[in-house]
Amino acid sequence: MLGLMQSQPLLISSIVTHAARHHPHAEVVSRTTEGTIHRTNYAGIEQRARTLARALMRLGVQPDDRVATLAWNGHRHLELYYAVSGMGAIIHTVNPRLAPDDIAFVLNDAGSAIIFADTTFVPLLAAVAPLVPGVRAFVILADPDAMPEVTLAPGQELLCYETLLADADDDFAWPRLDELQASALCYTSGTTGRPKGVLYSHRSTVIHAYAINLPDVLGLRSVDRVLPVVPMFHVNAWGTPYAAPMVGASLIMPGRHLDGASVQSLMNSERVTISAGVPTVWMGLLQHLRATGGKLDTLQRLICGGSACPPMLIDTFAQDYGVRVDHAWGMTETSPLGTYYSPKPGFESLSPEDVKTLQYKQGRAVPGLDMKIVDDAGAELPWDGTTFGNLMVRGHWVTRRYLNAEADATDADGWFATGDVSTIDAHGMMQITDRTKDIVKSGGEWISSIALENIAVDHPDVAEAAIVGARHPKWDERPLLIVVAKPGRTIDPADLLASYAGKIAKWWTPDEVVIVEQLPHTATGKLNKLALRQQFRDYKLASAAD
């Protein structure tokens, strides 16, 4: 017997119509690419999004069509989010930090035929245009008098965003779509191959917005002023463009300048209460504050995700600036929020040191998502805070299958393997210990490469360190430590290996040290473990000759 409640689809358009109706004056403040401050509100965003939907229809955009963006966080990008998804098309947010070749790949893979871009990206457009013959229109997010020249391929059109809007009217009504309809498309950063497309639905996006607005997660209120430093091309700015209007919180959009000085000035001038970003951004903010003696006038919380947040950031922002740093974990495939740190009952009676140890972990599962750790045979491992295993997730906003893939990315029970290795403690707090592919498997046991690298970089002579599993006839793999010395320092391998004593199980100690001039990095600045593995996988360990 079915319930007798109203049945309405969970639609992205319902978020912006709710905001326009119940929070019309809540602000959307954007620092433009020209450096000026643009102010509008949710009534304005919703009205312009409807106008844009009409303009998109005039451009021939049909339901299911992919519409790409190459844009910073700003009001026009927000209009595109709602117009494209709301009309039943799919917004494909392209990461401009990818190489032009990869940008062309994702545009072609997605089949995006129109791309909206900030003026910043005009050189990139010129480089990409000949590689994407399927893209028929390039729309520049600018006023007519600020339109740049761009050399395009034959059959490709250059258009002005504000002209398109001026020529359309706002008589568009949001259609009642299937809530399972695809709404947005993000690609993984593709560290081990070509980027893969993750296709979100209206339903997954709206449920994710409700869930991350729980008070033990982002927990936005209408009185909040939210600054997403994390870009709208990076897993939808972690869902903030949906979560903020859902509750009427104001959005402060930082545009292209994400350095410490720019972020601090916007936080103070716009009375920001909550901001979200990766550790490097908060490190930049902290360095700027320390160098200038600056303060954060209204900020209450920083959300730190993307990679593990250094404990120093959590401690320093709390002690010196009265700002809480919330640790979060997620990935493109999880929309992205999977876990979030917030205290549980009883934490108030723990020692400050014990609380810090918990805060340094990535947090506990957001309601609506479940997680477990398993061994290589798939058996579930205990939540004891020390046993580590492959992290698996399942939930309303987790990927089932990549775009254009022929098989599901989930196992028979619907679990998605994150590719991360982690522990989970008795409080349900998860801590990433490694990437699955970086773990060293020695005699059937696992050794965390991150744990070994962290000890190495604590040594006074070491600038950077990487652990690679080198083949071993008896143990299958043994850890090989590859290091770069600090300028003017010389690394003594024996002394460095001696520094592991007492910090780890003895059998985890790397077998050998290789000193190199520099380590390879990916385009996004991470260690290129793939290249290192190719180079050092067959390194002849002295221990292998035993």
Binders in 386-445 for a second copy, by CB under 8 A: 394-403, 410, 414, 416, 428
Q: Of residues 32, 95, 189, 204, which one binds a second copy by CB under 8 A?
A: 204
**73 sits near a second copy (criterion: CB under 8 A):** no
Peptide bond into 241 cis (omega under 30): no
Point out the catalytic residue in the list 446, 475, 477, 509.
Answer: 446
Point out the catalytic residue in the list 46, 333, 453, 477.
Answer: 333
Point out the catalytic residue in the list 410, 441, 464, 522.
Answer: 441
CA atoms within 13 A on the CB side of 178: 6
What's at 264, amino acid-wise?
Q
**349 sits near a second copy (criterion: CB under 8 A):** no
Query: What are the structure tokens assigned to 460, written together?
Result: 């006074």
Site string for a second copy, 24-53 (x = CB under 8 A): -xx---------------------------
When the beta carbons of 127 and 381 are compared against a second copy, the nearer one is 381
Q: How many residues does the chain have?
A: 546
Cβ atoms within 10 Å of 152's Cβ, excluding its own: 16
DSSP element (H, E) containing 365: strand 364-365
Q: Of residues 343, 382, 443, 473, which one binds a second copy by CB under 8 A?
A: 343
446 is catalytic: yes
Site string for a second copy, 498-537 (x = CB under 8 A): ----------------------------------------
Binders in 177-196 for a second copy, by CB under 8 A: 178, 180-183
Min CB(212)–a second copy separation in Å: 10
What's at 199, amino acid-wise?
L
Rounded-to-integer distance, Cα 127 and Cα 235, Å: 24
Min CB(391)–a second copy separation in Å: 15
When the beta carbons of 248 and 284 are compared against a second copy, the nearer one is 248
When the beta carbons of 144 and 343 are compared against a second copy, the nearer one is 343
Is-contact 396 412, C-beta < 8 A?
Answer: no
Q: Which residues are 245's β-sheet partners?
A: none
Q: Of residues 78, 115, 199, 483, which one binds a second copy by CB under 8 A?
A: 199
Instruction: Match 């790397």 to its residue by tokens.
Output: 510
Point out the catalytic residue in the list 93, 119, 188, 205.
Answer: 188
When the beta carbons of 269 and 342 are compared against a second copy, the nearer one is 342
188 is catalytic: yes
Min CB(332)–a second copy separation in Å: 12
In sequence order, the 6+-apart residues with CB closer than 8 A to the CB of 347 are 355, 358
333 is catalytic: yes
Query: What are the structure tokens assigned to 51, written together?
Result: 């106008």
Rounded-to-integer distance, Cα 159 and Cα 142, Å: 10
Please report the sign of the dihedral spanned by the C-alpha atoms of residue 21, residue 23, residue 25, residue 26: negative
**336 sits near a second copy (criterion: CB under 8 A):** no
Rounded-to-integer distance, Cα 173 and Cα 184, Å: 20
**544 sits near a second copy (criterion: CB under 8 A):** no
Rounded-to-integer distance, Cα 386 and Cα 396, Å: 28
Is-contact 258 356, C-beta < 8 A?
Answer: no
When the beta carbons of 90 and 440 are compared against a second copy, the nearer one is 90
Nearest to 448 by CA among 459, 457, 437, 439: 439
Binders in 461-480 for a second copy, by CB under 8 A: none
**269 sits near a second copy (criterion: CB under 8 A):** no
Q: Of residues 193, 345, 502, 525, which one binds a second copy by CB under 8 A?
A: 345
Whole-Å CA distances, 103 to 149, 175, 201: 21, 31, 23
Q: Of residues 220, 447, 482, 513, which one binds a second copy by CB under 8 A?
A: 220
Binders in 141-180 for a second copy, by CB under 8 A: 178, 180
Is-contact 116 80, C-beta < 8 A?
Answer: yes
Instruction: List the Cα angle 37/42/47 in 5-degree steps.
Output: 105
Nearest to 333 by CA among 260, 420, 251, 252: 420
Stretch that binds a second copy, among 143-151, 245-253, 308-316, 323-331 (CB under 8 A): 245-253
252-264 CB burial, b ≥16 within 10 A, e <16: bbbbbebebebbb
When the beta carbons of 45 and 482 are compared against a second copy, the nearer one is 45
When the beta carbons of 89 and 229 are compared against a second copy, the nearer one is 89
Give the count of residues interacting with a second copy (CB under 8 A): 73
**62 sits near a second copy (criterion: CB under 8 A):** no
The residues annotated with a catalytic role in the active site are: 188, 333, 441, 446
